[in-house]
Structure 1
Amino acid sequence: MLTDLITGLSAIMPTTYGAWGTGNAKPLPYLIVFDTGPDDFYADDAHYLKRGTYRVEFYFEQKDPTVETQIESFFDADEIDWACDGDVYIETDKMFERIYYIEKGE
Structure 2
Amino acid sequence: MASIFSILKSTGLPVAYGRFTESKSPPFIIYLGDGQDTVLADDGIYHKKNRYQIEYYFAKKDESTEGRIETALTDAGMLYEKTEDIYISSEDIFVIYYNV
Same-fold call, TM cutoff 0.5: yes
* Over 2 Å off, 4+ runs: 43-46
Instruction: Assess if the C-alpha contact under 8 Å between 2:7 and 2:73 holds in 1.
Output: no
CA distance in 2: counterparts of 1:32 and 1:51, whole angstroms: 20
- Which position in structure 2 is the counterpart of 1:10? 9
- Which position in structure 2 is the counterpart of 1:32? 30
* Structure 1 unaligned residues grouped into runs of 5+: none
CA distance in 1: counterparts of 2:70 and 2:23, whole angstroms: 23
Is the aligned partner of 1:46 residue 2:63? no
Tell me the number of residue pairs that the alignment of Structure 1 and Structure 2 aligns: 99
Provide the TM-score with structure 1 as the length reference: 0.86
* Identical amino acids, percent of aligned pairs: 29
Structure (1 or 2) with the greater helix fraction = 1
Provide the TM-score with structure 2 as the length reference: 0.91
Q: Tell me the C-alpha RMSD between the 2 structures.
A: 1.4
Q: Which segment is superposed worse, 5-14 or 76-85?
A: 5-14
**CA shift digits 1:9-42 (9 cap, x unpaired):** 1232000000113xx1222100001011111111
